[in-house]
Copies of this chain bind each other. A is one copy, B any other.
Amino acid sequence: MSEPALDRAAMEAFLRREFPHAGFADGRLVLADYARGRCRVTLPLDERNIRPGPSVSGPAIMGLGDVAAWIALLSVIGPVPLAVTSSLHVVFLRPAGRADLACDCRTLRVGRRLAVMLAEVARSGDRAEVAHLTVTYAIPDGPR
């Protein structure tokens, strides 16, 4: 596999600079693995994300999948802050419960204008999927 379009240190600096509230700066999200077209992002347990059940909330899981998809995309196309989510589909398969979550994401297709990523969320250390997401990003025109 070829190298990512920006290396891991550059990606982490980019995330902290462009998305100061996304959670990477203060440990609410962690970039655990990273390669060209692939990444793992983890979401450590945070009581603010817990809903009745108890379980990690749906929006927290969707946010996790969305940011993982964005990182997987940028590992291929480089630092394009204005790549924006075009559509997202998620099915929730099992209750997440009160647990750290891990999202494994990979690109299914990176076109010139559209990219599609697959994101699978499970409890850390467990294989049973909690949520399965398909995320589409629109890539702006212009030199890259």
A78 sits at the interface (CB 8 A): no
Copies of chain A in the complex: 4
Q: Measured between C-beta atoms, what is the minimum distance from A58 to chain B in Å? A: 4
Q: Measured between C-beta atoms, what is the minimum distance from A119 to chain B in Å? A: 12
Interface footprint category on A = 35 or more
Query: Which of A3-11, A34-42, A82-90 forms part of the interface with chain B?
Result: A82-90
Give the one of A62, A82, A91, A113 with max B CB within 10 A: A91
Q: Which A residues have a C-beta under 8 Å from some C-beta of B?
A: 18-19, 21, 47-53, 55, 58-59, 62-63, 66-67, 81-82, 84-95, 108-109, 113-114, 116, 118, 129, 132, 134, 136, 138
